[in-house]
Structures are given as structure tokens and as C-alpha cells.
Amino acid sequence: MSDTFSVIARETLLTSYIFAIERRTVTHDGRSFHRDVAIHPGAVAVVAVNDLDQVGLIRQYRASVDQVLWEIPAGTIDATDHDPLAAAQRELLEELGVTAEQWSTICEVYVSPGWTNQVMHVFEARALHFEGRSPDGPEEHAAEVLWLTRDDARALLDAGDANDATLTIGLRHFLGVDDHS
């Protein structure tokens, strides 16, 4: 594949409080074309494992798909916490009501590079301390918090009910699944 792609112009089409839409003019082999890209500050997700070896999940409504989904705690990196770890710590407290003494990075992945530059930083949190939830927004206020055993997490994956990408990454990490089956 030729690496002669080059972005030669950018035009902001829309700006929201979370993301922007940018039209990029790209050249390749003497031709130019446009691609619309969602510019996103990045996001975080947390695999929180308690002392009973259970993983913390939430069930929460998502307007984008008009469904209640199983998720691990997650959120957008914002102006108050440019650092992904600080954002992960904030989301863990907001959504599960816990803080953690031990943090490690699981992975950093592009969410959908065909249309957004969003990077998801996935962390593991252990040595948890229960502080009480501080939900932000109506969806989080209505969210249900659940702590799943390894058997319950495996059943959720096997049933096909883990249809959120970061949840799938998180549960596979929790279960020690490193194959692609």
C-alpha cells in the first residue's frame, strides 16, 4: 500500500460540547477527496475488580442506540482531566461509587477509525474502596450497578449480551481470555 496519503485541508462543520465534525481534504496519487471525521478528546473505560473477585458493571440507557446496555464504567476525557487516568478515576467514582489504590493499563484502542479519531484508554482498577456513587446525568442516576462473578461474566459473554466493545474487552481481560474465539 502506498503511504502517499496527505491531509491538505481541514474545515470544521460542527462543534458540540463533546466532539467536532471536521471535513478533511486528502490527496493520494494526485487525486483529492473528502472525509468527514468526528474529532473526539478520547475516552476511558475501567475494569473494576473487588476483593471478592467480582467485576463491576452498570446497566444504563444509551440514546444513541435507544437501548439499555451492559457496560463497564466509561466516559469522555474532558477539560477538567486531560489525563486519561484522572478521567478513569472520576468515572469509577461517578458510576460505581468506588476509588482504587491499584491501577494498570489494559490497552488503548481506536473506537472506530473509519469515522472518528477517538482513542479508548482501558484500565484495570483493584484494591477498591466504596465511597458512594456520584452519578452525572439522568442516565447514570437511573443506572443499575452490578458486581459479577467470573461465572456470571462468562455467561454474559456466552449469551451474546455483551454488545458494547469496551465491555467485551473488559470482560475478556477479567476472564483471562486472550484468544479470538
Strands 6-15 and 74-76: unpaired
Catalytic residue among 11, 108, 131, 144: 144
Could you tell me which of 3, 25, 21, 5 has the C-alpha nearest to residue 13?
A: 21
Residue 91 is a catalytic residue = no
Could you tell me which of 178, 57, 166 has the C-alpha nearest to residue 121?
A: 166
> How far is 118 from 98, CA to CA, in rounded Å?
26
Please state the φ and ψ torsions of residue 84, each to the nearest 5 degrees.
-55, -40
Please name the amino acid found at residue 111: V
Residues 6+ apart with CB under 8 A from 116: 19, 37, 38, 39, 40, 110
Residues 6+ apart with CB under 8 A from 125: 46, 47, 48, 49, 88, 92, 98, 100, 102, 103
> How far is 10 from 57, CA to CA, in rounded Å?
39
Catalytic residues: 144
